[in-house]
């Protein structure tokens, strides 16, 4: 289930750094994130803190030496995959009549995806390891703190032909910037949409080979989780929680893991990690 909680207007202008001349000419980029919380996602409309701290969840981005974007541009520099088993905690996601909970299934899938990615040589960072429920912003912040990362959020739908898999990338967002070249937190994905589409199509193509009836190319949707992510980012949605026996879903996990791992490996050479002179302010 892909959630879009709608028009949460966030005008947190986060610390950012110069022009990304290597890949995204003229575009600025969000490098910092709201302070991570251990609490639930705030209700829509909750105002952001007046003074969002310019620090990463690891607290290590306060100087240029620790900036994930300092250093030289690096082609094929993709080495980290941030894997997001969606939902969790008090949010079970989609539920089937047989008691299948999306939040449980995606955690199991994530274990297999992780293993397949590690076999391809990637470092994997998970947004949750167990049945906790980090906020949307916490999950994006985990990705935005990395250099050379891609972001993959895993979902199981309540619709669609069982046994198929769809990859979504975020729909177009105008890359709004202010007079200082800052882009708001909720536009973080805008400079990456082209790369996300390329990444999504690679993974979807491999999924289509294995899971007949799946689309050949990635789809666009308004995906809340992707919007605040400053990295190539995709949502992978498996159909569906309506199966009678969860073993039908379990049997899909190795194929999904293999397609994601091989798609990520195929994407790696095309991803030039941006260099930002001076690092963080």
Where along the sequence are the contacts to Zn ion (CB under 5 A)? 1, 86, 93, 155
- 81 vs 106, beta carbon nearer Zn ion: 106
Q: Give which of 255, 258, 266 is closest to 164, Cα–Cα.
A: 255
- 204 vs 275, beta carbon nearer Zn ion: 204
CB 235 within 8 A of CB 189: no
Residue 265 Cβ vs Zn ion, minimum distance, rounded to whole Å? 25
Q: Say which residue the tokens 């789809």 belong to.
A: 219
- 80 vs 154, beta carbon nearer Zn ion: 154
Q: What per-residue string of b and e applies to 197-221 under the rule 16 or more CB within 10 Å gives b?
A: bbbbbbbbbbbbeebeebeeebeee
Query: What is d(CA 47, CA 238) in angstroms, rounded to the nearest whole number?
Result: 34
Residue 188 Cβ vs Zn ion, minimum distance, rounded to whole Å? 20
Structure tokens at 191: 């400079």
- 235 vs 272, beta carbon nearer Zn ion: 235
Q: Decide: helix, strand or coil at residue 200.
A: helix
Residue 3 Cβ vs Zn ion, minimum distance, rounded to whole Å? 6
- 167 vs 183, beta carbon nearer Zn ion: 167
């Amino acid at each position: 289930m892909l959630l879009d909680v709608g028009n949460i207007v966030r005008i947190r202008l986060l610390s950012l750094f110069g022009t990304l001349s290597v890949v995204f000419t003229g575009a600025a980029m969000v490098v910092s994130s709201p302070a991570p919380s251990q609490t639930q996602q705030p209700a829509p409309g909750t105002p952001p803190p007046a003074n969002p701290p310019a620090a990463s969840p690891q607290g290590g981005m306060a100087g240029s030496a620790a900036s994930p974007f300092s250093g030289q541009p690096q082609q094929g520099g993709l080495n980290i995959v941030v894997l997001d088993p969606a939902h969790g905690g008090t949010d079970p996601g989609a539920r089937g009549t047989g008691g299948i909970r999306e939040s449980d299934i995606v955690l199991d899938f994530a274990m297999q995806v992780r293993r397949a990615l590690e076999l391809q040589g990637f470092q994997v960072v998970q947004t949750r390891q167990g049945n906790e429920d980090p906020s949307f912003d916490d999950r994006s912040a985990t990705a935005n703190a990395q250099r050379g990362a891609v972001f993959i959020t895993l979902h199981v739908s309540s619709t669609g032909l069982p046994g198929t898999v769809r990859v979504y990338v975020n729909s177009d967002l105008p890359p709004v910037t202010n007079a200082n070249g800052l882009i708001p937190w909720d536009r973080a994905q805008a400079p990456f949409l082209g790369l996300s589409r390329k990444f999504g199509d690679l993974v979807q193509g491999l999924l289509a080979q294995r899971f007949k009836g799946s689309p050949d190319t990635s789809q666009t949707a308004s995906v809340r989780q992707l919007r605040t992510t400053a990295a190539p980012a995709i949502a992978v949605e498996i159909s569906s929680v309506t199966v009678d026996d969860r073993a039908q879903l379990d049997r899909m996990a190795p194929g999904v893991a293999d397609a994601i791992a091989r798609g990520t490996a195929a994407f790696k050479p095309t991803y030039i990690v941006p260099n930002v002179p001076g690092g963080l302010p």
